[in-house]
Amino acid sequence: MSNLRTPGPTPVPPTVLAAMAQPMINHRGPEFAALIGGVTAKLKHFFQTENDLLILTGSGTGGLEAAVVNLLSPGDQVLAVSIGVFGDRFAEIARVFGAQVTKLDFPWGQPADPAAIQAQLAAHPQIKAVLVTHNETSTGVTNDLESISQAVRGFDKLLVVDAISSVGSLDLPADRWGCDMVIGGSQKGWMVPPGLVFVTVSPKAWQAATQARMPRFYWDLASAKRTLERGQTPATPAVSILYGLVESLRLMMEEGLPGIVERHRQVAERCRQGAKALGLELFARPGYESNTVTAVKVPSGVDAKALLKALREKHDIVLAGGQASLSGKIFRIGHLGYVYEEDIDEVLAALREELPAATK
């Protein structure tokens, strides 16, 4: 098995892979109702929320689209806080569906400044929702979501959090931090393959949804809630991914959220220290480095493509390159979900070996 160290899809534990190979069941039957009820309750535990949580079949991006179209009407003002590719994507979805987007960009590698968010909200009282990325996969930066949530709190806005690469791996007390919607994706810390997305909905978000006039059918959360009350989903769900989730949530309950968060911190710290020991520089501003993905600057003279190719072909280690304007400038080591220090040690040892050869 490759040492797959992209920030998603992430490796899947053997018992989860085995669980996915169970035969299909009727998604309108009693077995399925028990399955989805149990999985939903456990997910809520890890999202640290009493709000509704809905499981949709799709990629993480679909969850971002669901958030936008369920909360907003065309013409509504939103503040989209972006620190990278996925923040830009969230803003773009809102724009495409007709929101008036005020974009607050921070230089890539930097976190969002809560004071700047506060200033925007003070300057634009019409803003209805704040879209923010908890952990920006493209830059390896974790926003200080607690401070951001405090900055937003005074303004009675909807706080909508893309937590796709954080929730379940980093601490994200959704209710305590007043998050009205939190979006997670199965292929990240949950240790299952891609195909499911999770969206929490606060009472305030449900209230907004009743007013929201953006068109929605597949991503309609009210319809997902109505069918969940009968133990079903509006359309045929990705049953096999749900089987995997039953097993991965069992593993996660066993380890416990505090243990999981601490493991991610330790593994990430080892990755950062090890990279620095190789003379590499980290891309993220110190203090805001993500515990789920480490972005490393490509040293001058190093051909990033050749480096990743050598790691893949000679060591069976798969890292991610940089996205968009960061292509060729950084590479990324994913360490979320099913990951231990040995996995990172392997990556560091291989980097030590291949860096010289990839240097022009």
Give phi and psi for 160, each to the nearest 5: -115, 120
The residue count for the chain: 360
Q: Which of 37, 45, 50, 96 binds a second copy (CB under 8 A)?
A: 96
Question: What is the rounded distance in angstroms from the CA atom of residue 310 to the CA atom of residue 76?
Answer: 49
In the chain, which residue ranges form alpha helices assigned H by DSSP? 14-20, 30-47, 60-71, 85-96, 114-123, 145-153, 203-211, 221-228, 239-255, 257-277, 304-315, 341-354
Q: How many residues bind a second copy (CB under 8 A)?
A: 57
- Residue 10 within binding range of a second copy, rule CB under 8 A: yes
Q: Please answer whether residues 198 and 174 qualify as being in contact, where contact means their C-beta atoms are separated by less than 8 angstroms.
A: no
Question: Residue 197 forms beta bridges with which residues?
Answer: 56, 185
Taking the complex as a whole, how short is the minimal distance between the CB of residue 191 and a second copy, in angstroms? 10
Cα four-point dihedral sign 87, 91, 96, 97: positive
Q: Which of 205, 204, 209, 187 is nearest to 196 (CA)?
A: 187
- Residue 54 within binding range of a second copy, rule CB under 8 A: no
- Residue 259 within binding range of a second copy, rule CB under 8 A: no
Q: Please answer whether residues 283 and 297 qualify as being in contact, where contact means their C-beta atoms are separated by less than 8 angstroms.
A: yes
Residues 24-53 interacting with a second copy (rule: CB under 8 A): 24-29
- Residue 246 within binding range of a second copy, rule CB under 8 A: no
Residues 169-208 interacting with a second copy (rule: CB under 8 A): 185, 187, 193-195
Q: Is the peptide bond before 258 cis (omega within 30 degrees of 0)?
A: no
Question: Residue 199 forms beta bridges with which residues?
Answer: 54, 183
Question: What is the rounded distance in angstroms from the CA atom of residue 322 to the CA atom of residue 319?
Answer: 10
Which positions ≥6 away from 139 have C-beta within 8 Å? 83, 84, 85, 108, 109, 283, 284, 295, 326, 330
Q: Which of 107, 156, 230, 236 binds a second copy (CB under 8 A)?
A: 236
Taking the complex as a whole, how short is the minimal distance between the CB of residue 85 and a second copy, in angstroms? 12
Taking the complex as a whole, how short is the minimal distance between the CB of residue 266 and a second copy, in angstroms? 23
Q: Which of 33, 38, 92, 225 binds a second copy (CB under 8 A)?
A: 92
Q: Which of 79, 320, 351, 358 binds a second copy (CB under 8 A)?
A: 320
Q: Which of 37, 215, 259, 328 binds a second copy (CB under 8 A)?
A: 215
Binding segment for a second copy (CB under 8 A), chosen from 21-29, 41-49, 204-212, 291-299, is 21-29
Give phi and psi for 56, each to the nearest 5: -115, 150
- Residue 237 within binding range of a second copy, rule CB under 8 A: yes
Site string for a second copy, 118-147 (x = CB under 8 A): ------------------------------
Binding segment for a second copy (CB under 8 A), chosen from 44-52, 60-68, 201-209, 276-284, is 60-68
* Residues of this chain that bind a second copy (CB under 8 A): 1-2, 4, 6, 8-12, 17-18, 20-29, 57-62, 65, 92-93, 96-98, 185, 187, 193-195, 214-219, 234-241, 244, 312, 318, 320-321
